[in-house]
Structure 1
Amino acid sequence: MKCELLDPATVGEIIEMALSDHASFDQIRTLHGLGPDEVKALMRQNLKPGSYRAWRRRVRAFADRREVYK
Protein backbone atom coordinates (compact mmCIF):
# COMPACT_ATOMS: atom_id res chain seq x y z
CA MET A 1 0.00 0.00 0.00
CA LYS A 2 1.31 3.44 -0.88
CA CYS A 3 0.38 4.84 2.56
CA GLU A 4 3.36 3.11 4.16
CA LEU A 5 5.81 5.05 1.97
CA LEU A 6 4.59 8.52 2.98
CA ASP A 7 6.61 10.81 5.24
CA PRO A 8 4.95 12.11 8.44
CA ALA A 9 4.41 15.61 7.01
CA THR A 10 2.51 14.20 4.02
CA VAL A 11 0.47 11.91 6.26
CA GLY A 12 -0.43 14.94 8.38
CA GLU A 13 -1.47 16.91 5.31
CA ILE A 14 -3.66 14.06 4.04
CA ILE A 15 -5.30 13.68 7.46
CA GLU A 16 -5.94 17.42 7.61
CA MET A 17 -7.50 17.34 4.14
CA ALA A 18 -9.62 14.30 4.99
CA LEU A 19 -10.89 15.90 8.19
CA SER A 20 -11.73 19.10 6.34
CA ASP A 21 -15.26 19.49 5.06
CA HIS A 22 -13.88 21.31 2.01
CA ALA A 23 -11.58 18.66 0.50
CA SER A 24 -12.95 15.68 -1.41
CA PHE A 25 -11.39 12.27 -1.99
CA ASP A 26 -10.82 13.35 -5.61
CA GLN A 27 -8.73 16.32 -4.45
CA ILE A 28 -6.67 14.05 -2.20
CA ARG A 29 -6.17 11.63 -5.12
CA THR A 30 -5.05 14.49 -7.39
CA LEU A 31 -2.52 15.85 -4.88
CA HIS A 32 -1.24 12.64 -3.28
CA GLY A 33 -2.33 9.74 -5.49
CA LEU A 34 -4.35 7.96 -2.80
CA GLY A 35 -7.82 6.61 -3.53
CA PRO A 36 -10.72 6.63 -1.07
CA ASP A 37 -9.92 3.16 0.31
CA GLU A 38 -6.29 4.11 0.90
CA VAL A 39 -7.31 7.35 2.63
CA LYS A 40 -9.71 5.42 4.87
CA ALA A 41 -6.94 2.93 5.74
CA LEU A 42 -4.52 5.79 6.51
CA MET A 43 -7.13 7.45 8.72
CA ARG A 44 -7.85 4.16 10.51
CA GLN A 45 -4.12 3.71 11.22
CA ASN A 46 -3.57 7.25 12.50
CA LEU A 47 -6.76 8.19 14.36
CA LYS A 48 -8.12 6.80 17.60
CA PRO A 49 -10.92 4.28 16.95
CA GLY A 50 -13.65 6.63 18.18
CA SER A 51 -12.27 9.52 16.12
CA TYR A 52 -12.15 7.32 13.02
CA ARG A 53 -15.77 6.21 13.51
CA ALA A 54 -16.92 9.81 14.05
CA TRP A 55 -15.09 10.88 10.86
CA ARG A 56 -16.67 8.07 8.83
CA ARG A 57 -20.13 8.97 10.14
CA ARG A 58 -19.57 12.62 9.18
CA VAL A 59 -18.28 11.71 5.71
CA ARG A 60 -21.27 9.43 5.10
CA ALA A 61 -23.70 12.09 6.33
CA PHE A 62 -22.20 14.70 4.01
CA ALA A 63 -22.19 12.25 1.11
CA ASP A 64 -25.90 11.61 1.65
CA ARG A 65 -26.62 15.34 1.47
CA ARG A 66 -24.22 16.31 -1.31
CA GLU A 67 -23.43 14.04 -4.26
CA VAL A 68 -20.07 15.66 -5.01
CA TYR A 69 -18.75 15.27 -1.47
CA LYS A 70 -16.21 12.58 -0.58
Structure 2
Amino acid sequence: MKYAQFTTEDIDRIIEMAWEDRTTFEAIKFQFGLKEQDVINLMRKQLKPSSFKLWRKRVQGRTTKHEKLRVFEKGRFKCSRQKQITHNKISKRR
Protein backbone atom coordinates (compact mmCIF):
# COMPACT_ATOMS: atom_id res chain seq x y z
CA MET A 1 0.00 0.00 0.00
CA LYS A 2 1.23 3.49 -0.77
CA TYR A 3 1.44 5.94 2.09
CA ALA A 4 1.87 9.05 -0.06
CA GLN A 5 -1.62 10.20 0.90
CA PHE A 6 -0.49 10.67 4.50
CA THR A 7 1.43 13.61 5.82
CA THR A 8 4.44 13.15 8.09
CA GLU A 9 2.20 14.14 11.00
CA ASP A 10 -0.36 11.48 10.01
CA ILE A 11 2.32 8.78 9.89
CA ASP A 12 3.67 9.91 13.26
CA ARG A 13 0.15 9.73 14.73
CA ILE A 14 -0.46 6.25 13.26
CA ILE A 15 2.81 5.03 14.80
CA GLU A 16 1.90 6.62 18.13
CA MET A 17 -1.55 5.00 18.08
CA ALA A 18 -0.05 1.63 17.14
CA TRP A 19 2.30 1.79 20.16
CA GLU A 20 -0.51 2.70 22.57
CA ASP A 21 -1.89 -0.33 24.39
CA ARG A 22 -5.49 0.84 24.56
CA THR A 23 -5.81 2.06 20.96
CA THR A 24 -7.33 -0.69 18.82
CA PHE A 25 -6.50 -1.45 15.21
CA GLU A 26 -10.16 -0.72 14.51
CA ALA A 27 -9.69 2.84 15.79
CA ILE A 28 -6.72 3.30 13.45
CA LYS A 29 -8.79 1.91 10.57
CA PHE A 30 -11.68 4.25 11.40
CA GLN A 31 -9.44 7.32 11.55
CA PHE A 32 -6.96 6.56 8.75
CA GLY A 33 -8.51 3.73 6.71
CA LEU A 34 -5.63 1.34 7.34
CA LYS A 35 -6.28 -2.33 8.07
CA GLU A 36 -4.20 -4.16 10.67
CA GLN A 37 -1.89 -5.58 8.00
CA ASP A 38 -1.42 -2.09 6.51
CA VAL A 39 -0.43 -0.79 9.95
CA ILE A 40 2.05 -3.65 10.33
CA ASN A 41 3.55 -2.87 6.92
CA LEU A 42 3.78 0.84 7.76
CA MET A 43 5.47 0.07 11.07
CA ARG A 44 7.92 -2.28 9.34
CA LYS A 45 8.79 0.42 6.82
CA GLN A 46 9.01 3.36 9.26
CA LEU A 47 10.71 1.81 12.31
CA LYS A 48 14.19 0.46 12.78
CA PRO A 49 14.23 -3.36 12.59
CA SER A 50 14.87 -3.70 16.33
CA SER A 51 12.02 -1.31 17.18
CA PHE A 52 9.67 -3.13 14.83
CA LYS A 53 10.51 -6.48 16.47
CA LEU A 54 9.84 -5.00 19.92
CA TRP A 55 6.52 -3.59 18.76
CA ARG A 56 5.42 -6.85 17.12
CA LYS A 57 6.33 -8.83 20.22
CA ARG A 58 4.36 -6.35 22.34
CA VAL A 59 1.27 -6.28 20.11
CA GLN A 60 0.92 -9.95 19.17
CA GLY A 61 -1.84 -11.58 21.16
CA ARG A 62 -2.67 -8.39 23.08
CA THR A 63 -6.44 -8.36 23.54
CA THR A 64 -6.58 -4.59 24.00
CA LYS A 65 -5.46 -4.06 20.38
CA HIS A 66 -8.56 -5.83 19.01
CA GLU A 67 -12.01 -4.47 19.78
CA LYS A 68 -13.72 -7.87 19.55
CA LEU A 69 -11.36 -9.37 22.14
CA ARG A 70 -11.75 -6.60 24.71
CA VAL A 71 -13.72 -7.26 27.85
CA PHE A 72 -15.08 -4.26 29.68
CA GLU A 73 -15.98 -4.47 33.31
CA LYS A 74 -18.72 -2.39 34.83
CA GLY A 75 -17.18 0.60 36.57
CA ARG A 76 -13.77 -0.07 35.06
CA PHE A 77 -12.60 3.53 35.36
CA LYS A 78 -14.02 4.10 38.79
CA CYS A 79 -11.59 4.60 41.62
CA SER A 80 -12.14 2.39 44.65
CA ARG A 81 -12.42 5.57 46.76
CA GLN A 82 -14.78 7.34 44.36
CA LYS A 83 -17.60 7.44 46.93
CA GLN A 84 -15.42 9.53 49.22
CA ILE A 85 -14.61 12.19 46.64
CA THR A 86 -16.90 15.23 46.62
CA HIS A 87 -16.45 18.63 45.00
CA ASN A 88 -12.92 17.70 43.85
CA LYS A 89 -11.82 17.12 47.43
CA ILE A 90 -10.99 13.76 48.92
CA SER A 91 -12.67 13.15 52.24
CA LYS A 92 -10.37 12.41 55.14
CA ARG A 93 -10.18 8.84 56.26
CA ARG A 94 -10.81 8.12 59.92
TM-score higher than 0.5:
yes
Which has the larger strand fraction?
2
Q: Which stretches in structure 1 are left out of the alignment for 5+ residues?
A: none
Residues paired across the two proteins, number: 66
Q: Which stretches in structure 2 are left out of the alignment for 5+ residues?
A: 71-94
In 1: Cα distance, 2:61 partner to 2:55 partner: 10
**Match of 1:6?**
6
**Partner SS for 1:4:** coil
4+ runs deviating over 6 angstroms: none
Which has the larger helix fraction?
1
Greater C-alpha radius of gyration:
2
C-alpha contact 1:2 1:34 (8 A) present in aligned 2: no
**Match of 1:30?**
30
Taking only aligned residues, the RMSD between alpha carbons, in angstroms, comes to 1.5
Identity score, percent: 36
Relative to the length of structure 1, the TM-score reads 0.84
